[in-house]
Structure 1
């Protein structure tokens, strides 16, 4: 599993498996996410007891740890903190049951907001057979001549694994939330609406007075000519 240094590794959920006798090329795609805090977004931050930096995985792991400690008075070996580790009997009788109950019910009660900034590494794994028959035979011969150790070619096929981890592209995909409708946009819309409707009303009033003055002038002009 490849993860950000501020994240808690969730190997069982996000990890990938490699087996002996294979060559694995792992290309990483990097995604950087920037979320907005309230009132425009839902991202947040909280101080954690067991970790220096906030992350959703760290918050959930801390919530899980506190739940098990509260139920059993001890923690599982992989959990953070200085609480004593459960012995085998406590692990079987209490901690395992507490973990199952936490996943089913209590996990939904954990208040873990979405972080405002996060970086994820998405692996793209391709696999091929390794090593080849020629290389296995060559390695067997080298170990026999140099180290005087007899190893069959099948030994290398059954016990060797090759992993090459690299960046798939020398670029980062950035996902940034932006405010769709700001207070300044609201003022502009209000000003535009007022300008449209109020401007139209004033223009109509001026046109009415212009028509009235022209009609009055025309009436008195005709009246003067009759006299």
Structure 2
């Protein structure tokens, strides 16, 4: 478990785990299709759910190894009682910098709170946390601090709680941030296009076995065992649909050499597409129930 999965604590989903997290170890895949991907059977233990939990299932994010995962923003949900298949395709985006755009591959805000590489989503959360620190003198406990000299807002302090609550309401919170933040897109970015399909699992006539592997108190009752798996488990498949990637590149529609009569017309950008075969390497983060993953809910 420790070799293949790394713990990641998310402010919305709690304990999550990242697969293929170690960039010093290459996990290569030379064939496409669900037979050559990652398969997991995850038990969410619905009996442990709180009354306010609305949905049962797991949360999945596909991301680069050096990127901070944000399952609440970019994740996909997979329900219990189904085989959920996620087919991946890789796209590489190349954006244009000045004077056509404001992208940057070297941009990183001051006092950036995440250890991993910069991302626009992380930048907006960083902007919110720094605003909280400046206004309240303490940080939102849901996010990292920029340095050890800073402290988190205390739940025991009425002043801290009130300041954090007022600032969250006034700014819209980090999901609906209304602050002026300098956050830029990277000029080169890998994105994973995901195709989702599902089928009911287990089927009506499927027999898991006499001794139910997941529940010790279910013995010699195949129907009860099958029903437990249908209610509490999610079967996950993640694989590459094809072993190549598509390149999308911005190019200038007009340059400085255009005739003067075009002065005032906005610069036009468009994408060109190239497909290149490649061996892939990415990370998966899974949100799951009390078995070490996090529930598909906001009750942490």
> TM-score of the superposition, structure 2-length normalised?
0.52
Question: Which of 92, 110, 114 does residue 185 from structure 2 map onto?
Answer: 114
Deviation above 4 Å: which 4+ runs of structure 1? 89-92
* 1:60 aligned partner: 124
Q: Which segments of 5 or more consecutive residues in structure 2 lack a partner in the other structure? A: 1-60, 261-300
Question: Which of 175, 181, 200 does residue 248 from structure 2 map onto?
Answer: 175
* 1:84 aligned partner: 151
The one-character-per-residue Cα deviations of 1:104-134 (angstroms, maximum 9, x if unpaired) are: 7864400112211111123222222111233
Considering Cα pairs closer than 8 Å and 6+ residues apart, tell me whether 1 or 2 has the greater RCO.
2
* 1:98 aligned partner: 167
Distance 1:6 1:103 in 2: 29
Q: Tell me by how many angstroms 1:27 deviates.
A: 1.3
Structure number with higher helix proportion: 1
CA RMSD of aligned residues (A): 3.0
Q: Tell me by how many angstroms 1:149 deviates.
A: 4.4
Mapping of residues 1-227 of structure 1, within 5 Å:
1-44=61-104, 45-48=106-109, 49-51=112-114, 53-81=117-145, 82=148, 83-88=150-155, 93-103=162-172, 107-135=178-206, 137-139=207-209, 141-143=210-212, 149-150=217-218, 152-153=224-225, 154-182=227-255, 186=257
Q: For 2:63, what is the secondary structure of its paired residue?
A: coil
Q: Tell me by how many angstroms 1:156 deviates.
A: 1.5
Q: For 2:135, what is the secondary structure of its paired residue?
A: helix
Distance 2:178 2:186 in 1: 18
Larger radius of gyration: 1
Change (3 A) 1:9 1:148: closer
Distance 1:87 1:69 in 2: 13
Q: Which segments of 5 or more consecutive residues in structure 1 lack a partner in the other structure? A: 191-227
Change (3 A) 1:14 1:181: same
For the 8 Å contact 2:68–2:117, the answer to whether it is kept is no
Q: Tell me by how many angstroms 1:181 deviates.
A: 4.2
> TM-score of the superposition, structure 1-length normalised?
0.67
Distance 2:233 2:199 in 1: 13
Q: Tell me by how many angstroms 1:100 deviates.
A: 3.5
Distance 2:161 2:202 in 1: 41
Higher mean Cα deviation, 174-183 or 20-29? 174-183
Structure number with higher strand proportion: 2
Change (3 A) 1:64 1:18: same
Distance 1:148 1:115 in 2: 51
Q: Tell me by how many angstroms 1:67 deviates.
A: 1.3
For the 8 Å contact 1:8–1:57, the answer to whether it is kept is no
